[in-house]
Chains A and B, each alone.
Chain A
Amino acid sequence: MFGLIKKYSVHMCSEVKGIITLNGNPVEGALINRTLEFAHKVEKEDQVITAPDGSFYLPEVVIESKIPGDMFSHEVTYQTITAVYADKKYKLWGSKLSGISEPSEYKQKLSSLNADLDSTEVNFVFPNHENPNLEFDGSSICRWEHDFEIYEIEDSEDYFKDF
């Protein structure tokens, strides 16, 4: 049995496509950086520079891993995609992907990662069609037309001032 340790395909991130603009004008030469971390153990990082029309592309990331065979593994991928332009860093995508397969909702969002660097970073939720009780969470400076609800927790109180 020891020669046959099963490997699993772990989907870490969908294909990423997007356009970076600044006040509506395409941004060339912005550095797009994607960092992925699966089960607190496997880290993947890649980069790309935006084209003259502000567009960029990163392929889907799937790894072969034995980790899911361990019942005590925490099968979550932390996904972070940032853009660096003129010495400033912007968050294009921050989300925690649960499980090892690709949800179509993530695929859709990441295939249109369009950001104007002038926008503010927001927290948002998007619907989970398989389990409507369990919404997906993310944070980004990007905006989407559909399945995108920005939320703000308005609370000026400093709950931790005594700690």
Chain B
Amino acid sequence: MNILSPSVAAQLAEFAYDSIAAVSKSSSNIEPSRIISKHFVFDSKKSAFTGVSGTVAEHVLNHATGFGFFGIGSKEGAHKGEVVLTFRGTAGIADTLTDLHCGLTVGPNYKAVHAGFNRTFESIKPQLKAILSKVGGRPVHCVGHSLGGALATLAANWIKAQYKVPVKLYTFGSPRVGHNPFAIQSETSLNGIYRAVHRSDPVPMVPVWPFVHAGNEYRISTCVSLTGAAHKMAGNAPGYINTASLYPDYKSMEKGSLSNLTMTRLKYNNRHHASFNAHWAEKITSALLTLLRESGKITSVLAQGVVAGTLTIYDALARSLVEISKMSSKYAEDCQGLLGHILNFVGKPGVIAVDYTYAQAKRILYWMLEKLNQVVIAAVKVSPYMGIGY
């Protein structure tokens, strides 16, 4: 099973959007680009599958639309006999992503995952079942952009668990799908995870911790200032299709560090260095995790998340920070440093974090969540056609 080249993977992720027309206009032919056709064959009648996304109402009404394609490796290409599944993203995804009360549900590998993503995946699953029951033991590539990346992640794990075939996963600008146990299970069971991001794309930063990514991050554009446009497949700002085409293979891309394993300590005096970008978002999360791990609080904080949503976790987190800072003067310094950096990160350098209470710590953490979510929803909120969606 060969790894898809970044260009083929990106084009496949983009091609998945053609399934909208392929399903709604039965007359339209599907025309994959030459670079895709070299390796995979699609059938305009049989390749498309549908899904339901968005609000509960849409699920109730069963508003199914084209959600992607499955293709078969041609005998002339580099992926002979292999299968590819490609999933599209969707408009109006922001609310799902930034829903701080978002719950968890049992995912395809029996680990907790984001309930919203899983609901859309469940609407596609019966069709995947029908396809996969006929492809035998062939290796599968799962590909997707944005929400499609989350769906590809769920599909890859489900296929691995059900069919025990080799599965590789390729995503572009994918949000986080589950908590740590899901990520670890994905990493150990899948036969390769190729998670490409633009560092300036805010979507891979949500939903916020304790949601985490599986697999290494391949950074195909390294500018750190967060902008919504950096999430797009098409266009030049910088556009995933564009940036992916610049690399002959995944090996030549810059790999991001696994920030949740590094030790980070932030000194209060240096707090003014922090500003709102991808670099500091990572540093702050890492410092938070370092504190929680060292003080032994991480288990109790995470336990909250199993039964409740993100907000409850951050409430518990605020309480823990106050408790941790009372344990020793060293911890007190670390907590202060962390909160000081968050205040600068969210653009409130004037607020002083000394001798903070639970209520203050909570307010500071909420500001951080809000600020992160803002980048993701800002554009959609003012966009009048949102809600029409698919």
CB within 8 Å of B: which residues of A? 1-2, 5, 37, 40-41, 66-67, 69-76, 78, 94, 96, 98-101, 123, 125, 131, 133-135, 137, 139, 151, 153, 155, 157, 159-160, 162-163
User: How far apart sit A71 and B134, CA to CA, in the bound complex (Å)?
Assistant: 37
Decide yes or no whether B274 CB sits under 8 A from chain A.
Answer: no
**Given that A98-B234, A163-B46 are contacting pairs, would A135 and B34 also be in contact in the complex, using a CB cutoff of 8 Å?**
yes
Q: Do residues B89 and A76 form an inter-chain contact, with CB atoms below 8 A?
A: no
| Chain B residues within 8 Å of A153, by CB | 37-38, 41, 74, 76
A135 and B37 contacting across the interface, CB-CB below 8 Å: no
Please list 23 pairs of residues, one from A and one from B, whose beta carbons are closer than 8 Å in the complex, sorted by A's number: A40-B17, A40-B390, A41-B385, A71-B203, A71-B379, A72-B231, A75-B232, A96-B31, A98-B241, A99-B236, A99-B239, A123-B34, A131-B245, A134-B7, A134-B241, A135-B33, A135-B35, A137-B34, A153-B37, A155-B75, A159-B74, A160-B72, A163-B46
Task: Annotate B116-158 by CB proximity to A: 1 below 8 A, 0 otherwise.
Answer: 0000000000000001001000000000001000000000000
State the CA gap A114–B20 with chains docked (Å): 31
State the CA gap A86–B34 with chains docked (Å).
Answer: 32
Chain A residues with Cβ below 8 Å from B214 are none
**Chain A residues with CB below 8 A from B76, complex form:** 153, 155
Residues in A neighbouring B7, C-beta threshold 8 A: 133-134
Q: Which residues of B contact A76 (CB under 8 A)?
A: 14, 17, 234
Contact A66 B384 (CB under 8 A): yes
- Please report whether the interface of chain A is mostly helix, strand, loop or mixed according to DSSP: loop
Whether B228 sits at the interface, judged by CB under 8 Å, is: yes
Which residue, A37, A67, A71, A76, has most C-beta atoms of chain B within 10 A?
A71
Select from chain B the residue with minimum beta-carbon distance to A134: B245
Residues of B within 8 A of A78 (CB): 21
B229 contacts A71, CB within 8 Å?
A: yes
Query: How many angstroms between the C-alpha atoms of A92 and B116 in the bound complex?
Result: 43
Contact: A75 with B91, CB < 8 Å?
Answer: no
Known: A71-B380, A155-B41. A125 touches B34 (CB 8 A): yes
Which A residues lie within 8 Å of B379 (CB)? 69-71
Contacts of B385 in A (CB 8 A): 41, 66-67
